[in-house]
A and B are shown apart, each in its own frame.
Chain A
Amino acid sequence: MNPTAQAILHFLLTWWVEIVCGVVIVAVLPLVAGYVVLVERKLMADMQARLGPMRVGPHGLLQPIADAVKLLIKEDIVPRDADGLIFWFAPVISMVAAMTSMGALAFGPTFQVARDINIGILFVVGVSSLGFLGIILGGWASNSHYSIIGAIRSTAQLVSYETAGGLAIVSALLLSGTLKIRAIVDAQYDHHVWFGFLAPVAFFTYLVASIAETNRAPFDLPEAESELVAGYMTEYSGFRWALYFLGEYANMIVVGSVATTLFLGGWLRPFPSVHWLDKPLGVLPALLIGGVGVYSIYRAGKQPVPIQTWFMWAVALACFAVAGIFAAPWVFAPLKFIIPGLNGAFWFLLKVGAYIYVFMWLRFTLPRYRFDQLMHLGWYILIPLAIVNVFAVGVALLLESEFGWNRWLALIVTTAFTLAIALFLVRLHDKRTTAGSSATAATTDSYAG
């Protein structure tokens, strides 16, 4: 065997888990992102008194695939004066960053995506924020005013909200004492409570910051449709555009996973240490998935076209198959060892789904912030709040360990202190904005005539 082949073989043998994971992420993530989009459109339709996609497949279930095919075969336009290489490369950065950061996530006690590295959370946060580089470069390379304004906005937004989000993560890390993802979840098991309850202010800060980081409404200024057409994506079409889109939705899954891991107990079920709930909550996943299957059969009879009926039956069968896997260990005792892994993944994905649902719900409900308002919210309220909260959580931990306070008492006192600060900041902010807007009005007047 020649040395090159040996080197390659050695490389493959050392890294085969990571390589397989990479292939799986690249293969599965687009599909997942596509269906997240479908769910979003369906939810939006439901809240807006309409039906949403209904044409492609029953209830539009094949819509993501149709969209993907359309995007792949669409003409790929590069503006004449665009910086070709960067224009080509920018969406790739955006998506690769989002996909790479998924590598360190864990979806359950046995479902580690690639490897449980010792700087887990730091790696995820760091790599996923590289995605902004793609946005900035794409906006710049497009050589379009809309794109460059979108890119500038996203830079400012990144700096402001990544700071707040990072500080919120620090609060949770103080409680867990580790950056390792599995250890963070284990710490929540040991504490008998999710960190979201121990550090509610940090959770809220992270929620807001993560919405801003993923460019979702009401913080979707970099691509604000009604102002900047599509912001940094204005000049992109077809597959490149799809890469950006994929990156955005992958990022949503990433921040949802980070929030779930840090604040919502990861793959722990509700009340993880109350043991009489083991059985009822243990069979719940199987029952829920089976219920979806039953509902699909019920709907199958109501489809207008035979092919849609068959499709619904197929969905039902798939649900029953999955439910069967979840139920098998309860029937067949030797398989009991797969329960924690399966149910863990179920709870984790359920929590991520709930987190993303909040994102979507806010998007349908709220108007968009203006750029200056976004900056004010970030710098005058969220960042100070996050800093104060880091100190508050630290003080609470000190009170507990050094002075023997009850943990809950310490946390309630410090959280109350943080909330008081928050109230003060909001007051201050309100005063400042009223002053600010009257100044704007004065400027307007002085230009008149």
Chain B
Amino acid sequence: MADTVQDNATQQNGTLLGADELVLNMGPQHPSTHGVLRVKLKLDGERVRGTECVIGYLHRGVEKIAENRSYQQFAPYVDRMDYVAAVSNGLGYCEAVEKLLNVEAPPRAKVIRTILTELQRIASHLIWLGTHALDIGALTPLFYCFREREEILKIFEKYCGARLTTHAFRIGGLQYESYDSFEKDVERFCKDFERHIQEYVDLLTGNSIWIGRTRNVGVLNAADCIAIGASGPILRASGVKWDLRKAQPYAAYDQYKFEIPTGTNGDTYDRYMVRMEEMRQSRLICLQAIENIPEGPILGKVGKVLKPPAGEIYHSIEAPKGILGYYIVSDGGTQPYRVRIRPPSFVNLQALDKMTRGHLVADVVAIIGTLDIVLGEVDR
């Protein structure tokens, strides 16, 4: 390979930033940076010599806002971080505050939370699949993915009136009882989804162009993943079987049987396969959960004014994109003293430079796509 030989030569001479370097500014307005990410690419021809991420275009100071809101008031704000997986964000926050208050949501609330969160995981992965495929040039999967996501959003809408930033849960349980045909709707979605996921497989999995574009692209091995702190499907695609739903069960996950898919190479294709399998597993969890939703109250014993005892708590959940952690410090007042959020996208994005070096420009968009970042969450 002529260009590889040249790569090695460049490397030996130490002229990483040689005279022929071209700096390409990608974003913040660019079709494939998934929002307002800006990447400065240092290019040698089309080969990437280095990348520099510029983030913060969507910074809203969410953590600071938390210090000036009561615990309930802050709950809708977390929906705006990973806005394609608002339910998961809400679950993490509510559970963290519950832990701080030392209350527990009733079993019925836990099961409904689990169902909605798993639906949200499917919806989030569908967005990832559609946009990732679009980045690599396949136009059609995007529309199929949005078609299925629409069904999930309809369930959300029927449940709580909102589709995107749902604010579906309340601290201590749920505010809304599930509606009459909730189980039936979820079941129908899950039944149809099996067929639809096969459509994506038919379009992409065996396609030689797709394989050529994803296999051995953006390889991240397990040690690198752990060193960077990458989590979620990215970590699992590198072969590490680490999923908080199994490792530190929360909500009602300990009641259900599901597999944790893992990859071997840690390349883009493995991440694709892992996420596809995760959607199937989420579907199975939903099917198990709707079979037996316990009766009972939906809201635990929490007061109208929340005054957690002074102290600090860290709670993390397995959001669709990885480990989402909330660190909350209370000084005994009605407002948090400090909220620190560990967003999966922000941490996963740090792998971009390592993954893109030596690849071509076209691979950069594929790698940004496979990282599945949401800039609302990266910038907060």
Mask: chain B, 210-232; 1 = CB below 8 Å from A; 0 = not? 10110111010000100000000
Chain B, range 1-25, C-beta contacts under 8 Å to A: 1, 3-4, 7-8, 11, 22-25
Quick one: given A365-B140, A366-B207, are A49 and B147 in contact (CB under 8 Å)?
Answer: yes
Shortest beta-carbon distance from A139 to chain B in Å:
14
Are A227 and B361 CB-contacts (below 8 A) given A218-B137, A367-B136, A440-B4?
yes
B362 within 8 A of A: yes
Name the residue among B147, B358, B360, B363 with the largest chain A CB count within 10 angstroms: B358
Interface members, chain B 99-135 (any A CB < 8 Å): 133-135
C-alpha gap A367/B369 in the complex (Å): 14
Q: Does A89 contact B (CB under 8 A)?
A: no
**Interface residue ranges of B25-47 to A (CB < 8 Å):** 25, 30-32, 46
Is the CB–CB distance between A433 and B212 below 8 Å? yes
| A6 in the interface (beta carbon within 8 A) | no
From known contacts A50-B143, A369-B209, A440-B4, infer whether A226 and B354 are also in contact, taking CB-CB under 8 Å. no
Q: Is A368 an interface residue (CB 8 A)?
A: yes
- Judge whether B215 and A437 touch: CB under 8 Å: yes
Cross-chain contact A367 with B138 (CB below 8 angstroms): yes
Say if the beta carbon of B203 comes within 8 Å of chain A.
yes
CA of A364 to CA of B363 in the docked complex: distance in angstroms? 21
Q: How far is the CA of A444 from the CA of B352 in the complex (A)?
A: 12
Q: Which of A133-151 contact B (CB under 8 A)?
A: 145-146, 149
The interface residues of chain B lying within 8 Å CB-to-CB of A47 are 140
- For residue B246, CB closer than 8 A to chain A, the reply is no
CB of A51 to closest CB in B, whole Å: 11
Tally of contacts, chain A with chain B, CB under 8 A: 121
Q: Is there an interface contact between B359 and A440, defined as CB atoms closer than 8 Å?
A: yes
Interface code A43-76, partner B: CB below 8 Å = 1, 0 otherwise? 0100111100000000000000000000000000
When chains A and B are docked, how far (Å) is the Cα of A229 from the Cα of B361? 12
Which A-chain residue is minimally distant from B50 (CB atoms)?
Answer: A447
The answer for the CA separation of A38 and B243 in the assembled complex, in Å, is: 47
CB of B209 within 8 A of CB of A368, answer yes
Instruction: Report the minimum CB–CB distance from B1 to chain A (whole Å).
Output: 5
Bound complex: CA of A436 vs CA of B358, how far in Å?
12
Chain B: which residue is nearest A444 at the CB level?
B358
Cβ-based interface call for B357 (8 A)? yes
* Contact in complex: B1, A436 (CB < 8 Å): yes
In whole angstroms, what is the CA distance A288 to B187 when docked? 46
Assembly CA distance A242 to B198 (angstroms): 39
Q: Interface residues of A toward B: which range?
A: 35 or more
Of A49, A367, A443, which is within 8 A of B144 by CB?
A49
Bound Cα distance A119, B133 (Å): 44
Within 8 A of B (CB), among A343-372: 363-372
B224 and A370 within 8 A (CB) = no
Asked if A190 is an interface residue, CB under 8 A from chain B, the answer is: no
The CA-CA distance from A359 to B54 in the complex, in Å, is 39
In the complex, which residue of chain A has the Cβ closest to the Cβ of B23? A145
Q: Are A447 and B358 in contact (CB under 8 A)?
A: yes
Q: Is the CB of A439 within 8 A of B1?
A: yes
B162 within 8 A of A: no
CB-CB nearest in chain B for A447: B357
B201 CB-CB contact with A under 8 Å: no
Contacts known (A226-B32, A365-B140); A145 close to B216, Cβ less than 8 A: no
Which residues of B sit under 8 angstroms from A226, Cβ to Cβ?
31-32, 134-137, 365
B310 contacts A by Cβ under 8 Å: no
Cβ-based interface call for A438 (8 A): yes
B65 interface hit (Cβ, 8 Å):
no
Write the nearest CB–CB distance from B206 to chain A, whole angstroms. 12
Residue A246 CB within 8 A of the other chain: no
Q: Which residues of B contact A433 (CB under 8 A)?
A: 212
Shortest A294–chain B CB gap in Å is 31
Residues from chain B with a CB closer than 8 A to the CB of A447 are: 11, 357-358
Say whether A274 faces chain B, with CB atoms less than 8 Å apart. no
Contact A441 B209 (CB under 8 A): no
Q: Could you tell me the distance between the alpha carbons of A389 and B127 in the complex, rounded to whole angstroms? A: 45
Within the assembled complex, what's the spacing in Å between the Cα atoms of A398 and B133? 49
Q: Which residue of A221, A227, A436 is within 8 Å of B4 (Cβ)?
A: A436
**Whole-angstrom distance between the Cβ of A441 and the nearest chain B Cβ:** 5
Q: A162 an interface residue at 8 Å Cβ cutoff?
A: no
Shortest C-beta distance, B270 to chain A (Å), equals 13
**Closest-CB distance, B15 to chain A (whole angstroms):** 14
B219 and A229 form a contact (CB under 8 A): no
Nearest 3 pairs of A and B residues by beta carbon: A368-B137, A48-B143, A437-B216
Residues of A within 8 A of B (CB): 44, 47-50, 145-146, 149, 217-218, 220-221, 224-229, 363-373, 433, 435-441, 443-444, 446-448
